[in-house]
Chains A and B, each alone.
Chain A
Amino acid sequence: MNITLKVWRQKGPNKVGAMETHKMTEVSGDMSFLEMMDVLNGNLIREGKEPFAFDHDCREGICGSCSMFINGEAHGPGRNVTTCQLHMRSFKDGETIHVEPWRSAAFPVIKDLSVDRSSFDRIIQSGGYVSVNTSGATIDANAIPIPKHDADEAFDSATCIGCGACVATCKNSSAMLFVAAKVSQLSLLPQGKPESKERVVRMVDQMDLEGFGNCTNTGACEVECPKGISITNIARMNREFLSSNLTSK
């Protein structure tokens, strides 16, 4: 099939960007979106032009590197997929496809479609862990039974890949879904309980410091999340946050 691409071109963080148009022919429906971008970049290089920079790595939907805003949607059309798992059969012959980077003040553009998401790392560093040393001198793994339901629910929250689609898709550029997923995972497990009060406050403080917006319950993040993380996590985080503030000593 033939398609027209309008792709964001931006030389660097403080440069002015613009959309650039490219025609693509003989695109196979079995190509992934990133393989189509590879072909485009190969053509550009052969023509002596600059290829488009974009982040990608595992290409199997789990590393969270890829981050394209396609036709106005984070990771493009389709639910529960990342850009690398989006295939060209999701588009029609002759279609015009707009490709942009994640847009958020807390995710500054590095170049073209590549953005800086280190703010997410700093949020995890502020408290997204259990303070246990790695000596292995802990208790036996089966010493504390965990109800299957809790373990499964913690797992569902833990599947977040940290891609930032929730932020890119939110009109407030809120990172609440990302933060809530980690807060939930650790507060659902007995291992995370002892520091749950301090954790939620520290992580929310860091989130605010990074310049992410607040949540106004539009639910767009849940729709676009490639891992289907539910906004009930945000409700749980709000509950944890309130109770932490009310009961802090």
Chain B
Amino acid sequence: MLDSRIPEGPLAEKWNMHKDNIRLVNPANKRDIDIIVVGTGLAGSSAAASLAEMGYNVKSLCFQDSPRRAHSIAAQGGINASKNYQNDGDSVHRLFYDTVKGGDYRSREANVHRLAEVSGSIIDQCVAQGVPFAREYGGLLDNRSFGGVQVSRTFYAKGQTGQQLLLGAYSALSRQISKGKVEMLNRHEMMEVVKVDGKARGIIARNLVTGEIERHSAHAVVLCTGGYGNAFYLSTNAMGSNASAAWRAHKQGSFFANPCFTQIHPTCIPVSGHYQSKLTLMSESLRNDGRIWVPKSKDDVEAILNGSKLPRDLKEEERDYYLERRYPAFGNLVPRDVASRAAKERCDAGFGVNKTGHAVYLDFASAFVRYGQTEALTKGISNPSDETIVELGREVIKSKYGNLFDMYKQITDDNPYETPMMIYPAVHYTMGGLWVDYNLMTTVPGLFAAGEANFSDHGANRLGASALMQGLADGYFVLPYTIGDYLADDIRTGKISTATVEFDAAEKKVTDELHTLISNNGDTPVDDFHRRLGLIMWEKCGMARNEKHLKEAIAEIQELRKEFHSNVLVPGSENEFNPELEKATRLADFLELGEAMCLDALTRAESCGGHFREESQTPDGEALRDDEKYTFVSAWEYTGSPSEAKLHKEDLVYDNIEVKQRSYK
């Protein structure tokens, strides 16, 4: 039943051979084929622009007021590519290897290799579009290193790489809109997938300004709708980021893969109060120069909390640089899952450095000195004082991370040039998503998923600077080709009518749902329920999971879901601009997806990547995989309710890589 359609042949030749062998749609026929692309992040914008360029008629939707606002824009650190510009031994194979290893051997070899192969073209493409990447004085592109790898392959534009890449894709999309090849629908939300004869043939959408319910037909539908991190309520995702398109596709027959694989990012600004609406990430690039520590003794923790000591009063030997201690080979640059768990371990042991007990230090003091000494030498300052060295070092750090330091100060009112930053892990990315085959098609024919919305490339843990790479790889270089293989059958189909019973039924389902929410007469606002769901997810399906907690979480979520449907209060009407109604429909889906995440976590009784089952760990507390039992992708089929979902397994085969216990020591 589950056919991943991975092409035959040697790994390094699969993609080229596949491109040579799949069917094409000729240019004249493309003009008669309609494609809907939902979402305008990196994957959506690049896919819509590329498909339109090829000649298809594209309709693109985003819930934001402009396609430029999708949350890809917030990515800070960078984008990986195996260009080997730094001559440090990088190659397509090494990027492939690092990504599979980083994902803890739970991703598909063929997909990851294809990703590594096209990574170089992404950089060429973006530079051609006018993306202002950071450059060296010689005028060539600069690189930096990220966690979990030993080469410098990350391209960046200060701390705003996502913004610059998205604006590049948005400009390509805008160009196609101006040519009439893309019809852009801002402030529109997909509410349902419409299937005709088992194939995806359109969607029901809601115009968020007028509340109008619209029918849109197409020969194929592409979901580029991002991840589901907001199931945790507090995450680094945008407030509007939601899983509704993917979840509704799942309920229409698309299998959902590895929902429990979520990434908790180690360097976020800690929670400050109960009113908190979102968490802010501090780029992983900071771990290149910042050192993470907590005090060695609890007396010092106490002294810091009551204000009798400042962090800088603690001598070197009184500090526990726990990542350097536990992982000498990679130190502060271990992968995200490892760094997050290590922070939790120290804080659970009582060494957290703020009043909530959930914070560790990210300290730049030694980087100030290191850079300051080099600067003093290059500037020819003889016998510089300690103050001069630190001052010079601060300037260097400012030029590298200035905007991040400013953002930290703005949010916390603390000056990170004077005192170490405080950070704590937060939900950031979801590796799981809609199951797709090698062509990025879900188990519903004609329904495709790209970018974070699919599950395909990151296994159980994503490496830093790989999300931007995957979004653009899918949208610019994979989907535009693979979709032709499916559409080749549709050249004689003609326009799909929206005046059919299938569209009638789908529209009625949506209008009924909206009306039920509006006329519910409850007394509790949507956000209250969302906060409670988030707390259950964070406590019981977060950084560490166990059987008992997961079973409790499932029961609690089922209970919360009932309470939501009987007691939620949504003001206003469905026929107007109504942000509360939007939140309610999205939360209704998170309340089901949350249960699916817990069920998947319960079923996978091993630890791997971001999924840590307390029952499965090594004597020194590292994640312990069980390859014999769990070297598969969990693909869930919806059968009427989240708890009755049926598990299908796609076995993962590693022919080109030796599966090892991951070690960053």
Binding site for B on A (CB under 8 A): 12, 28-32, 34-36, 38-39, 41-42, 45-46, 48-51, 53, 55-65, 80-81, 85, 87, 89, 110-111, 114, 116-118, 120-121, 124-126, 128-136, 138-142, 145-148, 151-152, 154-155, 158-159, 161-162, 185-186, 189, 191-192
Contacts and interface: CB of A to CB of B under 8 A. Distances in A.
A29 B410 CA distance: 12
Given A30-B272, A146-B135, A155 B49 contact: no
Given A45-B569, A58-B73, A159-B160, A186 B130 contact: yes
Contact of B579 (A53, A128, A148, A161): A53
A57 B186 contact: no
A136 B527 contact: no
Contact of B273 (A31, A34, A62): A31
B67 interface: yes
Given A58-B71, A58-B238, 15 more contacts: A35-B275, A53-B579, A61-B410, A63-B64, A81-B410, A85-B407, A85-B411, A114-B577, A120-B66, A133-B53, A138-B127, A139-B128, A141-B83, A151-B135, A191-B129
A57 B238 contact: yes
Contact of B527 (A38, A48, A53, A58): A38
Given A141-B83, A155-B157, A63 B275 contact: no
A192 B132 CA distance: 11
A87 to B, nearest CB: 7
B650 interface: no
Contacts of A28: 273, 275
Contact of B125 (A58, A80, A138, A152): A138
A136 B476 contact: yes
Given A81-B410, A117-B66, A133-B53, A46 B278 contact: no
B12 interface: no
A45 B525 contact: yes
Contacts of B277: 32, 34-35, 38, 59
Given A31-B273, A63-B69, A158-B164, A45 B571 contact: yes
B12 to A, nearest CB: 18
Given A32-B277, A110-B209, A147-B139, A64 B69 contact: yes
Nearest to A129: B171
B175 interface: yes
Q: Which of A63, A111, A148 has most B Cβ within 10 Å?
A: A63
Given A46-B523, A57-B238, A138 B128 contact: yes
Contacts of A51: 571, 579-580
Contacts of A80: 406
Contacts of B138: 145
16 contacts: A28-B275, A31-B275, A34-B277, A45-B525, A46-B523, A53-B579, A62-B163, A64-B66, A121-B66, A128-B171, A129-B130, A136-B125, A145-B138, A151-B139, A152-B132, A185-B132
Given A45-B569, A130-B130, A145-B140, A65 B124 contact: no
A201 B548 CA distance: 66
Question: Main secondary structure on chain A at its contact with chain B?
Answer: loop
A132 B178 contact: no
Interface of B: 46, 49-50, 53, 64-71, 73-74, 83, 85, 118, 121-130, 132-141, 157-158, 160, 162-164, 167, 170-172, 174-175, 177-178, 184, 186, 209, 236, 238-240, 272-273, 275-278, 280-281, 406-407, 410-411, 413, 476-477, 523, 525, 527-528, 569, 571-572, 576-580
Q: Return the 5 tightest CB-CB contacts between A and B, nearest first.
A: A145-B139, A136-B121, A129-B171, A155-B132, A138-B128
A61 B577 contact: no
A89 B172 contact: no
B564 to A, nearest CB: 15
B128 A57 contact: no
Contacts of A134: 46, 49-50, 53, 125, 172, 476
Nearest to B169: A134
A111 B167 CA distance: 27
B411 A87 contact: yes
A216 to B, nearest CB: 27
A227 B179 CA distance: 31
Given A117-B65, A118-B65, A129-B174, A63 B157 contact: no
A63 B124 contact: no
A63 B278 CA distance: 14
Contacts of B578: 53
A130 B177 contact: no
Indicate the member of B157, B236, B275, B407 with the most A CB atoms within 10 Å: B275
A46 B527 CA distance: 12
Contacts of B53: 133-135
B74 A62 contact: yes
A64 B128 contact: no
B163 A161 contact: yes
A64 B66 CA distance: 10
Contacts of A110: 209, 577
Contacts of A138: 124-125, 127-128
Given A39-B275, A118-B186, A60 B171 contact: no
A63 B74 contact: yes
Interface centre among A80, A118, A135 (most CB of B within 10 A): A135
A51 B571 CA distance: 8
A204 B184 CA distance: 22
Given A57-B239, A130-B128, A138-B128, A111 B157 contact: no
A142 B523 CA distance: 60
B74 A58 contact: yes
Contact of A57 (B64, B135, B139): B64
A18 to B, nearest CB: 18
Contacts of A45: 525, 569, 571, 580
A46 B162 CA distance: 38
Contact of B276 (A29, A35, A89, A189): A35
A126 B413 CA distance: 42
A29 B569 CA distance: 29
Given A114-B577, A155-B164, A162-B66, A63 B132 contact: no
A163 B565 CA distance: 36
A159 to B, nearest CB: 6
Contacts of B69: 57-58, 63-65
Most chain B CB neighbours (cut-off 10 Å) among A89, A118, A124: A124
Interface centre among B167, B281, B580 (most CB of A within 10 A): B167
Contacts of A64: 66, 68-69
A61 B160 CA distance: 11
Given A158-B132, A189-B132, A148 B275 contact: no
A136 B476 CA distance: 8
A136 B139 contact: no
A32 B70 CA distance: 21
A56 B65 CA distance: 10
A217 B101 CA distance: 56
Nearest to B162: A62
Given A114-B577, A118-B186, A191 B135 contact: no
Contacts of A132: 125, 128-129
Given A30-B273, A57-B240, A130 B129 contact: yes
Nearest to B527: A42
A168 to B, nearest CB: 15
Nearest to A38: B277
A126 B179 CA distance: 10
Given A57-B240, A85-B410, A185-B130, A65 B64 contact: yes
